[in-house]
Amino acid sequence: MIIDTHCHLNDERLTGEADRIVADFEKDGIESAICVGYDMPSSELAVKQAEKYDKVYAAIGIHPHDADKADYPAYERLSTLSSSKKVVAIGEIGLDYYYENTVRAIQQGAFREQLELASVLGLPVILHIRDAYEEARRILYECSRYLLNGVLLHCYSGSKEMVADFDKIDAYYAFGGAITFKNARRNVEALMAVPKDRLLFETDCPYMTPTPFRGKTNEPKYIKYVVEKAAEVLKTSVEELEDLTTKNTKTLFMRMK
């Protein structure tokens, strides 16, 4: 059994299918999944879904695309939502310099503020970093006093060399469908560099559908293809990776135990 550490059952493409998807978890070899918020409405919905489904947990936070909406009332609401025992992390938060839907200075401010919020709430953080790894590293080092509850680099796309930098803050790394793509050399190299006790898997569904289903809407059930590819790269068995990453996930997300 595997844990999908990052999915979006709260996305409009999957909300109507959530009952079916979760009902099939056992058949699909999925122990549980974390539904991740990216703005206030999706965070609210993630908590509702987590409280509805026993095998679903929630992360709540404001994505860099919506960093201009990160303000005191939003943080107050996130604090209230975090009182649910099914909320396991603050996320996804971070920096996105690829799309830059919000100016960089505002992204950086919301990133720092939510790192501090997570510290106050005693929760780990789930980070979305795209084309901004050096900036993210600098901010994380500066805010290291807020990182005592754990850090997950969701959909890690940094270099293998940067793994050593993020190891200094005891980061965890999640890999998804990208490692199955034909042009995945950089992702595969990074996968091989990650300490095994810091490795997690995810789907990021409905995005990042793995080969051989690219072009279709991603679902948690497709995580098996990510694990199979990782087992091939790391020259180990699927069963060993499932056991290892399930243990790692529960070590990071303490409320899942």
Residue 80 tokens, joined: 């209230």
**Confidence at residue 90, expressed as pLDDT on a 0 to 100 scale:** 98
Dist. CA 246–CA 242, nearest whole Å: 6
Q: What is the largest CA-CA distance in the chain?
A: 49
Counted domains in the chain: 1
Tell me how many degrees the CA angle 58-83-121 measures, rounded to the nearest 5.
90
| Residue labelled with tokens 């997300």 | 253
pTM, to two decimals: 0.98
Instruction: Give the structural domain span for 37.
Output: 2-256
Instruction: Kindly report the CATH number assigned to the domain that includes residue 191.
Output: 3.20.20.140
Positions in the chain whose pLDDT score sits under 50: none
**Confidence at residue 257, expressed as pLDDT on a 0 to 100 scale:** 74
Dist. CA 27–CA 15, nearest whole Å: 20
Cα 133 to its chain centre, rounded Å, is 16
- 3 state SS of 157: coil
H or E, element range at 89? strand 87-96
